[in-house]
Structures are given as structure tokens and as C-alpha cells.
Amino acid sequence: MFYSGRDPTPEERVQLDIKTPEQVEGMRAACRLARATLETAGKSVAPGVTTDEIDRIAHEFIVDHGAYPSPLGYCGFPKAVCTSVNEIIGHGIPDSRPLSEGDFLNIDVTVYLNGYHGDTSCMFFAGPPSKRAAKLCKATRKAMLAGIEVCGPGVDFREVGRAITASAEEDGCTVHPSLVGHGIGSYFHGRPEILPYVNDDDWGVMQPNMTFTVEPALVDAPDRTCEVDAEDLWTMCTMTKALGAQFEHTILITDHGMEILTGPCIDYTGMAPSPVKAAKKRRKGFQ
């Protein structure tokens, strides 16, 4: 099966995309479906469940709602969603290994609905997580929200990376440079690149009706190395196999601020005060 979306046109590669009101509504619909898909897939997370099963559930839900799973066939990616377990930073391919008690994973969903992509991800726990995993997930979600909160018209795109980095360092984590946010619309990935770390890339300032993702990946070690699986050419982890976590929302810049199109941001697990107690309600994620 081939990827059903499209890449940016040469013009879209050069300039930042400001959407019409009709295009914004198309984005809202795609993002609502992406969020619903993520919640549906996340409910299946539990010890003994395979990531292949999670992928099947997401795929069927997307197709049943008249859409297409954007990752399927994209640059050869073989599945409908990415499932990145434990030390995998990103682009994990669903497979037949059952999840074990204490595993945690990122489910990354993008749907293509009526000509528009909606993109979101969050972390889920297969049973009670370790304190280490719970701390990392909480810090990563906090960093994503810090990056989103600075967004608005007239804001330099580099402020996102500064805010995310400050939040991550406050929690003793490292922003991994291999995964970045991106413009999104009728194309899956486009300009601008939303770098989640301190950078000098000058994309200008945010303008109303721009849509893009904010999606930092954090590791719980001072490790920015990246190793890509030599066989599948997708699965990414650090050289030290540090634990990784990622959260993602698609946002819209409005006249007066921003709108989280894949929101709302809800902390499903209620992490405090006890990560183990909070995670006893299985199949819960937080975004």
C-alpha cells in the first residue's frame, strides 16, 4: 500500500504556509480524529498486548472514520502508527513482542482526513511504571507544554526550543536532537522545523493560521547520540540505551495566541503523589 498524502510543493518548501479559514477547519477535523485514535489505541495498552495489536486497533479506527494512517507507506514505513517502547526514542515499528509489566511506550498517530494531516503522540504505561520512567514522562510532557505556551503571533520560532530546553534541564533531562517538530497541513512534514532545543535557525516569527507540531523527545541521561536500527532503518535509540519519552501536539497560531488542535491537554494518570499508585489504573496515558 502506498502513502496516500503528498509532500510539500516547491513553493511550500520555500515559504511558510499560512492557511485559509477553510484549510484551518480541515486541520481541526483531522486533528480531532488523530486525538480520538490516540485515545482508542492507548486503551489497549497492557501487559501481554503486542504493539502489532495496538497498530491494528489504530489502523481499523482510522479507516472506519474515512481516513488513512499517514505513516503507512511513508518513505517505506510499514505500519499505521509508531510505537516506541522504553529506550526507543522514536519511530519504533510495531511488532509481535508482548508488552511486559512496567514497559512504557510512545504511540505516535498521524491521520490523513479529507486532504489534511493531524499529528499527535503521548506516553502510555503497561502496568505500574518504574519511578524512573514516570519521572521522565512527567518531565517530557512538562517540556512540551512549556514549548507550546510560548507560541503566539509575532513570536520567534526559536523561543520554543529555549522554553523546552529550560524545562528539561530543570528536571535533569536531556532534549534529544534527532526528533523535531514540523509544519503540517495538506502535507505530512513541511516548514518550519520546530527545533526543541536552543538553536540559531531563523525561521522568522509565527503568524496567524500557521499550523505546526511541537514534539520534544527527552532522555534521562546526558546523551545526544543516536543509533538507527541497521535492519529496519527506522528505530532510534541512544548509544547508551537511555530511556526515552516524547509528547506531541499539533497547534494553530491564532490572532491572539495559539490553539492546541489535538488537545485538550489532560494528565490522565494524575502522577502525584505516587507514580505506582497513579498507574494502577491500566491503559492510561497522559498528554
* Closest by Cα among 68, 19, 63 to 185: 19
Q: Is 215 annotated as a binding residue?
A: yes
pLDDT of residue 220: 95
Residue 224 bridge partners (DSSP): none
pLDDT at 9 over 90: no
pLDDT at 270 over 60: no
- Cα angle value 205/206/207 (rounded, 5°): 115
Q: Is 91 annotated as a binding residue?
A: yes
Which of the 8 DSSP states describes residue 86? Answer: T
* Cα gap 41→57, rounded to integer Å: 6
Q: Is 182 annotated as a binding residue?
A: yes
CA R_g for the chain:
18
pLDDT of residue 268: 43
* Cα gap 166→172, rounded to integer Å: 10
* Cα gap 13→25, rounded to integer Å: 22
CATH class of 10-274: alpha beta
pLDDT band for 273, please (50, 70, 90 cuts). Answer: very low
Q: Is 108 annotated as a binding residue?
A: yes
pLDDT in tens, 60-99: 999 999 999 999 999 999 999 999 999 999 999 999 999 9
Compute the average pLDDT of residues 116-126.
96
pLDDT of residue 285: 47
* Cα gap 27→101, rounded to integer Å: 37
Q: Report the length, in residues, of the chain.
A: 287
Compute the average pLDDT of residues 242-271.
83
* Cα gap 127→101, rounded to integer Å: 5
Compute the average pLDDT of residues 140-149.
97
What type of residue is 123? M
Task: Provide the 3-class DSSP secondary structure of residue 276.
Answer: helix
Contact indicator for 74, 229 with CB cutoff of 8 Å: no
Residue 1 CB contacts under 8 Å (≥ 6 apart), including other chains: 72, 73
What is the percentage of the chain residues whose pLDDT exceeds 90? 86
Residue 250 has a CB neighbour count (10 Å cut-off) of 29
The DSSP bridge pattern shows strands 249-253 and 258-260 to be: antiparallel
pLDDT at 123 over 50: yes
Compute the average pLDDT of residues 251-280.
64
* Cell numbers found for residue 120: 499527535
Q: Is 248 annotated as a binding residue?
A: yes
